[in-house]
A and B are shown apart, each in its own frame.
Chain A
């Protein structure tokens, strides 16, 4: 990957540093990302994780149940014990989902921002593939480099906006009162959005227009999300 594109990717380690949470495709800080449930593959992955954990809960509860009923001289109803343990496991599952929902409320904005980060990283990956294809077709590839500069600039602005938004979100999450630093970062997001809009207007006709459009959409989504968040917290 070209170094300029490498720098544009927002890596998982960076995300974890910025959010101070464990970030994955399916979970953020132990909470399910709703976007993960829209893709069949990731839904399947989530179900595997959930099933595995519930299986462990079942095993531990059944083991505990066996130890308890061991001392009951007249006990001989294994199926009754299994039914009770299944009931306990279902109760744990319901309680876990309730807890997830409570925690998700606090991480809703972050979840949306992470979806935008995924979109941003997808665009960078697509450009990388396009670069490689162009290089394979014509090693000189001089014509593509001219238009590429604008999209890189747009993606840099998007990246900065996303990082500012993630930092703002963390500050707001960690300190429920709105801090001045949060407002400064919000200002940075708006400046980057103006830059993105200017790039979009100047490059309506170029072949990367679709990417600029997407970068602009990400910028708008980030701004909207943070405006809502700061509005709610205010």
Chain B
């Protein structure tokens, strides 16, 4: 009973974020229960990422599945860990009054929303994993899912920051530009880290690999996959 209650506490924070965003943002603005929000969002999002990681990893055996279970949450949490100090220090330099914990909760809301959206796509991914054994299709499908969920998460973060920090006409324009710059930086760091940590799902017929050799880059690989998918070469 207690165990269920504790587990539910983590998810109830996430459900509050999804259901009642204005109240959640209001609590962040007032600094209400920030520490417990940080813990709850980290734990809940890690679990969802781990589940999705396990599904995409399952395309290439149990070893890849176990590794992707760890790699996917690590990818999102490390990206945040790398990028968060940049946002915090630059924003306070240009007049923000918010605390580091408030920035941490806000950025974790992005990660959490992405994790929930990925989790909601899990049955679709699982369906295509079982029904279509095409590596390039699976790769493009996942890139599309990651791009879509990332876009929605980042958009909510942008609106959340503007709401919590009470952006208005008097807010220096540089802070808004800084926020947009940070979002681009977050995307670049995330995609590069993802490229460094690959494979998340192994290529068919190839043995289990901890890493792929560093070759080309993320964007070149996407173009190759699109070409393969459309023209077969």
What residues of chain A have their CB less than 8 Å away from a CB belonging to chain B? 22, 24, 26-27, 30, 39, 41-42, 44-46, 48-49, 52-53, 55-56, 58-60, 62-64, 66-67, 70, 76, 78
Interface check B184, CB cutoff 8 A? no
Chain B: interface residue count, which band? 20 to 34
Interface check B164, CB cutoff 8 A? no
Say yes or no: B210 contacts A63, CB within 8 Å: no
What residues of chain B have their CB less than 8 Å away from a CB belonging to chain A? 1-3, 5-7, 10, 33, 35-36, 39, 42-43, 46, 50, 70-71, 73-75, 77-78, 81, 193, 196-197, 210-211, 214
Please judge, given known A-B contacts A56-B42, A70-B211, whether A44 and B2 are in contact too, CB under 8 Å.
yes
Most chain A C-beta atoms within 10 Å of own C-beta, residue among B6, B196, B214: B6
Chain A interface helix/strand/loop/mixed: helix
B10, chain A: closest CB distance, angstroms: 7
A75 to B73, CA, bound (A): 23
B4, chain A: closest CB distance, angstroms: 9
A96 to B20, CA, bound (A): 33
Say yes or no: B77 contacts A63, CB within 8 Å: yes
Residue of A nearest to B214 (CB): A70
Residue of A nearest to B49 (CB): A59
A101, chain B: closest CB distance, angstroms: 18
A58 to B197, CA, bound (A): 16
> Of B6, B73, B78, B197, which contacts A49 at CB under 8 A?
B6
A66 to B212, CA, bound (A): 12
Say yes or no: A78 contacts B77, CB within 8 Å: no
Chain B interface helix/strand/loop/mixed: helix
Please judge, given known A-B contacts A22-B33, A42-B2, A59-B73, whether A67 and B78 are in contact too, CB under 8 Å.
yes
Say yes or no: A41 contacts B1, CB within 8 Å: yes
Say yes or no: A59 contacts B70, CB within 8 Å: yes
Say yes or no: A56 contacts B46, CB within 8 Å: yes
Please judge, given known A-B contacts A52-B43, A56-B43, whether A30 and B35 are in contact too, CB under 8 Å.
yes
9 closest Cβ contacts across the A-B interface? A63-B74, A41-B2, A45-B6, A45-B2, A52-B43, A44-B3, A48-B6, A59-B73, A63-B78
Say yes or no: B70 contacts A62, CB within 8 Å: yes
A33, chain B: closest CB distance, angstroms: 13
Say yes or no: A59 contacts B46, CB within 8 Å: yes
B73, chain A: closest CB distance, angstroms: 5
Say yes or no: B197 contacts A53, CB within 8 Å: no
A167, chain B: closest CB distance, angstroms: 20
Say yes or no: A22 contacts B35, CB within 8 Å: yes
